[in-house]
Amino acid sequence: MSDENIRRSALDETLSPELSRLVEQLAGTALPATTVSRDELLYRAGWDAAERKLAHRSSSSDRLAGRFTTVGWSAVSALVAMSLTVAVMWHRPSQPTNESIIVRTSEPSTSSPVETAAARTAVEPTAPTEVTIERQVPMFVMPREYDRSATLLIQREQALRYSTLSPGSWNDLRGPGATRTSPARAKPSSARELLQEFLPDVKRDDVT
Amino acid sequence: MGPIDAALITEYFERYAAALEFYAGQRTQAAADCVQEAFLEFARLPELPPDPAAWLFHVVRNRSLNAARAAQRRTNHEQAAAEHSTAWRRVASPVETVALLDLLQSLDDARREIVILRIWGQLTWEEIATVTQSSRSSVQRNYVHALEQLKQQMEPRECPTKTSADLR
């Protein structure tokens, strides 16, 4: 490193000869060699640049993926909300739903037994008749109608159970609320009697 | 790498690495680390600065100041001063270099810094003023004072030589 390399200025021109000589002497003094390894420095610089490039790419792709994820979730949640709204609007009954108890019966003049839905193992009926029981979603049902519907359903279940009893065990059957001293009951001879006994609330005209 | 490629780094490394390490060694023992970090920061620049040499000296100065402050926090003042003196002697290994460079130790920090930046850093007065955060006139005045101080300290050493020559 010589003084020719120094960018000379007006100040350097105004220095005294002794000071100029001192400057030349200092500039001619070789500094100790650096302890920094040039190869290591270049290696680290290259590695650093590669890391920054990789980080930049991954961050930009993350941003893109995050944006797509947000849009996707928004679309899915909007679809779910719309589906739920449509489902609730369609399912909400404007009128009570009906459930039918099918009472299958034959001609009144014939002696063939009347069959109820409880006796599904019997012979196929000729003219099914429907007794309509209103069954509604509880929140839309009037309490009295709901009680009646529940009573009818319970009685239908009892009829189903009793119809499968043998004649012998029928005598042992005691009705609802019966005590040990209650008299034995005779099994109804026909399905009509059975129905009249266990469905007392159903008018006779309903069962034809 | 970015716009500053390996060839450019190599060029500036060959030209300024020794001066930068010598410059940082005036303040801290971790001069090599300061120089290496400065070159790495240089390689990360999005574009070449207007004056790369001044930029490098500026960064090395800041890093050496930070390193010196950190070292001073770790040790007490006397121990830090002793380590500083040891570091100085370790850098200036050749005998003829030690004789001249040791004279720089007699200067105060501000003047020594200006001499190094001017003579070995080859910076202009404006660049030195920017790096040292002072005015150009102040830098020039301190530079001349530093040279005069060095000259005065060299004269007593030269006197015995002259005396012996005269005797012959």
> Is B117 or A164 the better-scoring residue by pLDDT?
B117
Q: Which residue among A26, A32, A49 sits closest to B119, beta carbon to beta carbon? A: A26
The one-letter code for the residue type at A149 is S
Q: How far is B112 from B120, CA to CA, in rounded Å?
A: 12
At B2, the pLDDT band (50, 70, 90 cuts) reads low
CB contact under 8 A, B151 and A19: yes
Model confidence at B3, pLDDT cuts 50, 70, 90, reads confident
CA distance A4 to chain B (A): 10
Ramachandran area for residue B39 (φ above 0: left; ψ -120 to 50: alpha; else beta):
alpha
A87 in contact with chain B, both atoms CB, cutoff 8 A? no
CB contact under 8 A, B1 and A49: yes
Cβ distance A141 to A173 under 8 Å?
no
State whether A41 and B9 contact (CB < 8 Å).
yes
The letter for the amino acid at B80 is A
Residue B26 has pLDDT above 80, yes or no: yes
Neighbours of A98 (CB within 10 A): 11
B120 closest CA partner among B25, B47, B44: B25
Residue A64 identity (one-letter amino acid): L
Global confidence as pTM: 0.51
Instruction: Give the pLDDT score at B18.
Output: 92
Q: What is the pLDDT of residue B95?
A: 46
C-alpha to C-alpha distance for B58 and B60, rounded to whole angstroms: 6
Provide the ipTM.
0.70
With CA atoms as reference, the chain B residue closest to A35 would be: B32
- The Cβ-side half-sphere exposure at B4, using a 13 Å CA radius, reads 23
pLDDT of A188 strictly over 50: yes
Domains of chain B: 1-91 (no CATH), 94-168 (1.10.10.10)
* pLDDT for res A3: 43
Overall average pLDDT of the A106-129 stretch: 47
Q: Tell me the sheet residues that pair with A103.
A: A129
User: According to the model, what pLDDT value does residue B146 have?
Assistant: 92
Chain A positions touching B17 (Cβ under 8 A) are 34, 36, 38
What's the 3-state SS for chain A?
CCHHHCCCCHHHHHCCHHHHHHHHHHHCCCCCCCCCCHHHHHHHHHHHHHHHHHHHHHHHHHHHHHHHHHHHHHHHHHHHHHHHHHHHHHHCCCCCCEEEEEEEECCCCCCCCCECCCCCCCCCCCEEEEEEEECCCHHHCCHHHHHHHHHHHHHHHHHHHHHCCCHHHHHCCCCCCCCCCCCCCCCCCCHHHHHHHHCCCCCHHHCC
Q: Say what the pLDDT of residue B140 is.
A: 92
The mean pLDDT value for A166-187 works out to 57
Residues in Cβ contact with A106 at an 8 Å cutoff, skipping those fewer than 6 apart:
A112, A113, A114, A125, A126, A127
Give the residue ranges of DSSP H helices in chain B. 6-24, 31-44, 52-74, 77-91, 95-104, 109-119, 125-132, 136-167
Cβ-nearest to B18 among A9, A25, A33: A33
Shortest CA distance to B51 belongs to which of B128, B131, B127, B132?
B127
Q: How far is B82 from chain A (nearest CA, A)?
A: 21
Percentage, residues of chain A above pLDDT 70: 46
Of A46-50, A62-66, B76-80, B88-92, the poorest mean pLDDT is in B88-92
For range A104-113, the mean pLDDT: 45
Mean per-residue pLDDT for B23-35? Answer: 91
Q: Is B107 left (phi over 0), alpha (psi -120 to 50) or beta?
A: beta
Q: How confident is the model at residue B35 (pLDDT cuts 50, 70, 90)?
A: very high
Most confident of A32-46, A106-120, A167-181: A32-46
What per-residue confidence (pLDDT) applies to B152? 87
Interface test with B, best of A35, A37, A43, A48 (most B CBs within 10 A): A35
A46 inside 8 A of chain B by CB: yes
Angle (CA) B134 B92 B144, round 5°? 35
Residue A27 and residue A12 in contact, taking contact as beta carbons nearer than 8 Å: no
Residue B128: which pLDDT band, with cuts at 50, 70 and 90?
very high
Size of interface A-B (CB pairs under 8 A): 101
Q: Contact B43/A45, CB-based, under 8 Å?
A: yes
Percentage of chain A modeled with pLDDT above 90: 4
CA of A63, closest CA in chain B: separation in Å? 23
For residues B135 and A64, what is the distance between their CA atoms, to the nearest angstrom? 50
Residue B70 has pLDDT above 80, yes or no: yes
Residue B22's pLDDT band, with cuts at 50, 70 and 90, is very high
Q: What confidence tier does B101 reach under pLDDT thresholds 50, 70, 90? A: confident
What is the residue-averaged pLDDT of chain B?
Answer: 81
pLDDT at B118: 92
CB B71 within 8 A of CB B65: no
Residue B4 DSSP SS3: coil
